[in-house]
Chain A
Amino acid sequence: MTNGLDHWLKQATRHSSGDSTLQVRTEIQEHYELAREAALERGATAEAAEQEALTALGDAKAANRQYRRVLLTSAEARLLREGTWESRAVCSHRPARTLLPSLAVAALLAAAVLFRTGTAVAARLLLLAGVGMSQLFIVPFLPVYTPARSRVVRYVKLGCAGGDAATSFRP
């Protein structure tokens, strides 16, 4: 790869996620090669052909702005990873996929029953456990596959954590 193209690609993929960078590099390199070969066939020198192919790509910063609107940036990819780490942990084991969410639901149901029967301390403990487990084991089954939804899940988790803390320290 020429230095000029490498520099162009670095600018065009600035802040892009690993997958997006790979995609951009592959398609632009293919395009550049075809443009370079076409220039050589028209009789250009090797240096002129490379320059022509690079010039045809245009401003790398402008391309970067447009790519960032349609492909994942590294920040968005990190947000998705952090927002759905439970998915990878829970969904990778088939028995856990059923068992763990069931435990969360069972804890919440048991807490409701204990609240009704007046056993408040045990009910509160089960409620805390149920909410905690729900965050860990039910989120993977929600359709969280966009940065916007991932942000919502993150705020809901923070809200639940706050609620948990408030419930724990309530006299």
Chain B
Amino acid sequence: MNFKGTLPALILEALVQEPRHGYRIAQRIKERSQGVLDFKEGTLYPALHKLENQGLVESYEGAEKGRPRRYYRITRSGRAALAKDRAEWRELSRAVTMILGEA
């Protein structure tokens, strides 16, 4: 499903509970959407770098099963941005539902 423009918010949501590396972020989004949001994973990292440049996430070197991994964690600004995105999405969703009706 095309969800262009929502990927940054989905990444931020995937990082709310705990820091994750890129692959786990992609898995988290797919699992939470029950496979509906199946995006191309090559676009995940540019989005992560953009969020990092904006100060919404920060990265650090970590390890998983003895292998080095770059982990990402959400910042305070990232949490604020996610809260704003959530509010906007609820409003948009409510408006579209009023027009198209409940699923």
Tell whether, in the assembled complex, residue A30 and residue B21 are in contact, meaning their CB atoms are under 8 Å apart.
yes
Contacts of B70 in A (CB 8 A): 26-27, 30
B47 partner residues in chain A, CB cutoff 8 A: 66
Chain B residue with Cβ nearest A58: B40
Label chain A's interface by main secondary structure.
Answer: helix
With the chains together, A80 CA to B49 CA distance in Å?
A: 20
Q: Which residues of A contact B26 (CB under 8 A)?
A: 31
A residues less than 8 Å from B43 (CB atoms)? 58, 62-63, 66
Given A30-B22, A31-B22, does the pair A70, B50 have CB atoms closer than 8 Å?
yes
Interface residues in A36-87 by Cβ distance below 8 A to B read 56-60, 62-63, 66-67, 69-71
| Number of residues on chain A facing chain B (CB within 8 A) | 22
A12 and B42 within 8 A (CB)? yes
Main secondary structure of the interface of B (DSSP, over half): helix
Query: A66 to B40, Cβ gap below 8 A?
Result: no
Chain A 65-120 interface residues, beta-carbon cutoff 8 Å to B: 66-67, 69-71
Q: Are B49 and A28 in contact (CB under 8 A)?
A: no
A34 and B20 CA atoms in complex are apart in Å by: 13
State whether A70 and B40 are in contact (beta carbons under 8 Å apart), knowing that A30-B23, A31-B22, A34-B23 are contacts in the complex: no
Q: In the complex, A156 Cα to B66 Cα: how many Å?
A: 51
Whether B41 lies near A56 (C-beta < 8 A) is: yes
Which A residues are in CB contact (< 8 Å) with B33?
none
> In the complex the two chains form, what is the Cα distance from A30 to B53 in whole Å?
22
* CA of A59 to CA of B42, assembled, Å: 7
Q: Which residues of chain B are near A34, meaning CB under 8 Å?
A: 23
> Does chain B have a CB within 8 A of A35?
yes
Given A26, A62, A69, which contacts B42 in the complex, CB threshold below 8 Å?
A: A62
Residues of B within 8 A of A129 (CB): none
CB-CB under 8 A from A66, the residues of chain B are 43, 46-47
Starting from the known contacts A34-B23, A57-B41, 13 additional A-B residue pairs (CB-CB under 8 Å) come to A12-B42, A27-B22, A27-B45, A30-B22, A31-B41, A58-B41, A58-B42, A59-B42, A62-B43, A67-B46, A67-B49, A70-B53, A71-B46
